[in-house]
Structures are given as C-alpha cells and as structure tokens.
C-alpha cells in the first residue's frame, strides 16, 4: 500500500476529488519516524461552502428523500462489508497516520465496520409515538432528519469517529460534511473513496481537509449547517459552540477528560492492574477516555504501584508498524506539551515512579516516543491531577475512605469516564451513583468499542451523546402532528 494513493485524492466534494494548487497543501507526517506520508489540500471557507451547498442539494433531492429506511440500512451494511474487505489497508493507513500499534488499528477497523452494521439495523426502526390528547384527535410524533450535519473529526481515532459520524447520519437520513484533523486525514479520505463505489447520491458525503482555524471554523459558522458534532479540546469546543450559536445551530461536544480508575482494597488485583495499565497506554494515552488517574486505597497503594511499574517497564515501545505495546505520540507539538507536564512534576518534587523520559528508537530518531510515566503521590488538586495531559502519563492519588475516593474522582473540571474496582457490589453501586461522569465501568474499563453504549460527558467534558440509540436524538428533529377526525 502506498500513501500516494491518498495524496492525489484531495477534498471530496459533490462526488468529485479536487486538489488545489501546490501552495495550498498540508504535509501529513508519520509520527513514527517524522517522514512525510502525503499532502492534502488546505481547504478553507470556499471549499467548505461548496461542500455544504452540495450536501444541502443532496439532502433535498428526490433521490435521497425517496430512499426508504430499509434501503439506507442495506447501504450501511454494504459499507461495513467494504471496510472489512479493505481491513489490512485501512489498518496500515491508520497506523502510519496516527502512530498507534498495528493491532490497535486493526481493532479500530473492525469497530468502524460494526458502527455501520449497528446503525444499519436501526435505520428502519426510528419510531415516533402516539399521544392521548382528547377524544376526536389523533396526535403523534415523527422523527425527521435534521438536515446537513457537520462533523469535525479529532486526530486520535479518525477512522472510528468518521465511521460513527457517517453511519448515524445516513441511518437518520441526513447529508454530511466531514472535516478530518489536518494531522490524520488519510483513513477518512480512504473511507470516502471506498464508499464512492456504492452509488451514494452526489454531495451526500463530503470531506474537506484543512486546518481547524480555517476549514473547521468555516464549517461551524456556516449558516446552512443544521447540526455540528465536535470532538476535541475544551478551548476549541467553546469556539465551535460560539460560532454555531450565531446561527442557532445545535452542537454535540465531546471535549476530553481526566478519568479515574478507583481501586479499592477488595479489588481483584490482577484484573485491576491489567486494565489500569491498558487504559493509559492505549494509543499512547492519546484517548479522551484514558484512565489517566489512579485513585487508590492507601492501604494497598505501595504494592499495587510497585507491580504496575514493573508491568510498565516490560512494555515494548516502537513504530506502530512493528505492533509494539506502545507507539509514538502524534507530533512534536504533542510531545512538547507532555514534556511540559513532566518538567512541572520535576520542578514540584513529585516522584516519578517510572518513565518521564524520551525513548530513542534506532532508525526512528525523528519519532516522538515516550516511556510510559507514573507520577506517584500526586495531590488531588495538583495541576497534574487536574488537567488532561493526553499521553502515556498516569497520576497516583490515595484515599482512605469511600467518601474521599468519590470526592477525589469528582474533583476535576471533567466528567467523562470512571472505572471502579471492588468485589463489593453494594459499594460499586453506591460509588457509581455518586460519580459525576457520563460512563462508569465496574471491574473493567471499556467494552468492545462501546458501539451501543451512549458516550459523552458531564461538566467540561461536553454535552450530548454519541453512540448507541441515544445518538439518534442529535441527528433527528421531532415533529408533532395532531389530526381532528370529528
């Protein structure tokens, strides 16, 4: 597979691939070795407007309006099939683009296919309700497509998130414009190329590459967009919401987290150790739902952290194509940001139980590799335990009572995910009931991609829900009809 196959595609607008002149191209780099993988167009307001108008035309077309929900479901199943037929190429592209281990990319490809299958089964089951009002009136609701949906895709799971965005949009009868992250656009473009063979109405799916402050800003502020879905940082999320508000456009925001694994003394230690480790090293910790805080019973902390350090130091680190345990972080910018947090820990005298150093890989000296890092005995209110680092970096904070554990877990500006580790069922439910977050996992962390599980946050982690049936609410609008029959 050659990245040049994607280099020549450009933006996908109204069923055509367009490439501006060379002065408007963006380098896409391999984080594993710093080499240039591809060049993609630096789309801006003009390309976004073309894409939105194409989507609007497609949405209003007779061809799309008359396609039955059942037929939309069949189309989604075809997309799932074509993803699996091209699974090796998609996984390689995702690894080259993002840096994650090839095995993790292969899982991402399967999850992408499952999104399409899941929403294929839902397309003809989006129901309304009848409402008893008074004799002589039949009152009912229908859920209708919301229109043209804008999706701003993050760089850490581009294939997965593009897939869930496209799948739910088609299932609910919408048209769409996707703006992938400028760092990792390759699998989104490849997915559009694969879908092109299935005969979608022109303009139904559009992909515009470019920078967030240009193409992303133009998309979120466009007056003909009917809904915006954004996954990314809090600060960018604020700007997206402000832009959309000027046009009275609803938004779904997923803005990251500082998620705790709360480990009680009566936990299954072997399972807890495995998942605490996995939840912070997946995709080099560049995951909004990463278990980036270990909140642990003081009585077992020393032994648990000692074993965790041992496990971390056994991990293999290297280029994603070699399928190690841990690949590189995305970019120099991301690496330097993580390094600032490490420097802060050293400055404040916080114990670094392991890691905190760059890992040099022979032949990949320009790659951005970091040893998995554990900051021990971090105060709950310290900056390191409050802010999203977005790397393979874990903070350790102890508690002595259940109430203290809950207070620490809730004591950040975020509220996305939490893990609870205990064999006491009553405690598990008590704690889950009091956690201020959108998802709680008890004695595990994550579940097979979570396709059916509503995903979103409390507080600064955002609002609205992706995944599962709950996502349908964001992509449809409710109409009430009342008929008087005598």
Q: Which residues contact 257 (CB under 8 A, 6 or more apart)?
A: 288, 289, 290, 292, 388, 414, 415, 416, 417, 437, 457, 461
The encoded tokens of residue 426 equal 């009553």
Q: Rounded to an integer, what is the distance from CA 240 to the centroid of its chain?
A: 16
In sequence order, the 6+-apart residues with CB closer than 8 A to the CB of 236 are: 212, 216, 230
Q: Furthest-apart CA pair in the chain: how many Å?
A: 83
CA–CA dist 382, 323 (Å, integer)? 35
Contact between residue 169 and residue 79 where contact means Cβ atoms under 8 Å apart: no
293 bridge partner residues = 260, 395
CB atoms under 10 Å from CB of 133, counted, come to 11
Q: What's the Cα-to-Cα distance from 73 to each of 70, 163, 323, 341, rounded to whole Å? A: 5, 15, 35, 47
State the residue for tokens 């019973």.
Answer: 297
State phi, psi for 248 to the nearest 5 degrees: 55, 50
Q: Alpha-carbon distance 102 to 201, whole Å?
A: 34
- Whole-number Å distance between alpha carbons of 79 and 204: 14
Residues annotated catalytic, as ranges: 254
Beta-bridge partner residues of 177: 150, 206
Q: Are 99 and 188 in contact (CB under 8 A)?
A: no
Task: Return the exposure string of 376-413: e unless at least 16 CB atoms fall within 10 Å of the residue's CB, then b.
Answer: bebebebebbbbbbbbbbbbbbbbeebebbbebbbbbe
């Amino acid at each position: 597979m050659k990245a040049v196959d994607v280099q020549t595609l450009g933006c996908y607008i109204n069923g055509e691939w367009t490439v501006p002149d060379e002065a408007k191209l963006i380098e896409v780099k391999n984080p594993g070795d710093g080499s240039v993988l591809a060049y993609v167009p630096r789309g801006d307001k003009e390309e976004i407007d073309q894409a939105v108008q194409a989507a609007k035309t497609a949405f209003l077309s007779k061809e799309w309006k008359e396609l039955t929900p059942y037929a939309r479901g069949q189309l989604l199943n075809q997309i799932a099939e074509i993803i699996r037929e091209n699974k090796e190429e998609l996984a390689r592209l995702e690894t080259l683009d993002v840096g994650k281990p090839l095995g993790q990319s292969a899982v991402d490809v399967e999850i992408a296919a499952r999104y399409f299958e899941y929403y294929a089964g839902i397309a003809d089951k989006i129901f309304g309700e009848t409402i008893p009002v008074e004799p002589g009136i039949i009152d009912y609701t229908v859920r209708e497509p919301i229109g043209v949906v804008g999706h701003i895709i993050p760089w850490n799971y581009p294939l997965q998130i593009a897939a869930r965005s496209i799948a739910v949009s088609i299932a609910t009868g919408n048209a769409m414009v996707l703006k992938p992250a400028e760092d990792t656009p390759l699998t989104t473009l490849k997915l559009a190329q694969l879908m092109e063979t299935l005969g979608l109405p022109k303009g139904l799916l559009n992909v515009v590459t470019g920078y967030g402050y240009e193409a992303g800003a133009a998309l979120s502020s466009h007056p003909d967009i009917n809904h915006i879905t954004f996954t990314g940082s809090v600060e960018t999320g604020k700007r997206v919401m402000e832009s959309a508000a000027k046009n009275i456009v609803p938004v779904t925001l997923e803005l990251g987290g500082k998620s705790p694994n709360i480990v009680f003394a009566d936990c299954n230690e072997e399972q807890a150790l495995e998942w605490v480790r996995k939840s912070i090293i997946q995709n080099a910790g560049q995951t909004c739902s990463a278990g980036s805080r270990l909140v642990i019973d003081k009585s077992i902390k020393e032994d648990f952290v000692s074993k965790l350090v041992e496990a971390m130091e056994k991990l293999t680190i290297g280029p994603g194509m070699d399928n190690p345990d841990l690949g590189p972080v995305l970019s120099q910018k991301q690496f330097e940001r993580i390094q600032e947090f490490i420097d802060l820990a050293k400055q404040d005298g916080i114990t670094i139980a392991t890691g905190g150093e760059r890992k040099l890989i022979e032949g990949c000296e320009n790659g951005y590799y970091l040893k998995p890092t554990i900051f021990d005995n971090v105060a709950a209110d310290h900056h390191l335990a409050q802010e999203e680092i977005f790397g393979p970096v874990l903070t350790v904070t102890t508690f002595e009572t259940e109430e203290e554990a809950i207070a620490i877990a809730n004591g950040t500006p975020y509220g996305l995910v939490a893990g609870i580790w205990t064999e006491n069922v009553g405690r598990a439910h008590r704690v889950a009931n009091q956690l201020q977050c959108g998802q709680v996992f008890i004695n595990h962390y994550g579940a097979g991609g979570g396709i059916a599980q509503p995903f979103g946050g409390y507080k600064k982690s955002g609002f609205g829900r992706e995944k599962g049936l709950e996502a349908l609410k964001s992509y449809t609008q409710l109409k009430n009809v009342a008929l008087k029959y005598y």
